[in-house]
Amino acid sequence: MKSNIMPEAEESKSGARDESWVHKWLGRTLLIIMGAEWFLLLLDGRWLSMFLVTMIIAALIAPTLFRRKLDVDIPVEFHFMAVIFIFASLYLGEVQSFYQRFWWWDIVLHASAGLLMGITGFLLVYLLNESKRVELHMTPGFISLFAFFFAVTIGTVWEIFEFAMDQLFGLNMQKPMLGDPSGLTDTMWDIIVNAIGAFIISFMGWRYLKRQQIFFVRNWIRRFIQKNPSLFHKGRRKS
């Protein structure tokens, strides 16, 4: 038995080290690029773009702040996905005008947001249950619905934010489409594709909880619990 288990454990540890190394150097590279971009925008007086880049920098250093101030260790994979999404939406989309260059950019990002927020919903369920097995306390259907509605709610709140920024500061976050200068069509498609992304991840989670199908978020949750034992009841759960 030992000969079968030990190589698997060593392989898992090696994979975790590789992921941590890639995550560290990718984060540092993006931080250097965004830092240089911040100073260039400062010199050009592009204050809105500079603010957006500042948000990206904040997302890059967030895990370090959480780890030091709150003693919370964010999963590498989740932080990687969040940074890539923020970089694609704020820097490429707004600063580099990808929203205007590629008509499909906004749609892809909102669909990705639905997936990302759906994953966040599943992580929150595990936190709320304080290290207990979720399926023993909540039905798979309820957990999936929670993840779905959480993602849809966040997407709707973002659309309200875009509308408010356009109305208050005269921005163009709601991208008007041909034949609809009000931006309503863009808003509705954003909500629709966000809901589709949320449904996909919620359905995958439901299949895992109901039928024990493969679900990649499971490993993220287990790693999060192992790295943050102080957030859970001590002695209530064995890894």
Residue 237 has pLDDT above 50, yes or no: no
Q: From start to end of the chain, where are the E strands?
A: none
For 177, phi and psi rounded to 5 degrees? -100, 165
Residues in the chain: 239
- Give the chain's mean pLDDT: 75
102-130 pLDDT per residue, tens? 888 888 888 888 888 888 887 777 666 55
Type and span of the H or E element at 37: helix 2-44
Domain borders along the chain are 1-96, 103-232
Q: Nearest-5° angle of CA 132, CA 136, CA 138?
A: 100
Position 236 pLDDT exceeds 50: no
Amino acid 233: pLDDT:
53
For 166-212, the pLDDT digits (tens) are 888 776 777 766 566 667 888 888 899 999 999 998 888 888 777 76
Rg for the chain, CA atoms, rounded: 20
Q: Looking at residue 148, what is its pLDDT?
A: 92
Which amino acid, residue 41?
L
Average pLDDT over residues 71-89: 78
In this model, does residue 149 exceed pLDDT 90? yes
Q: Say if residue 62's pLDDT is above 60.
A: yes
Q: Which two tokens stand for residue 110?
A: 């909102």
- Rounded CA-CA distance 12/110 in Å is 33
Res 193: pLDDT? 92
Residue range 202-219, pLDDT digits in tens: 888 888 777 765 566 667
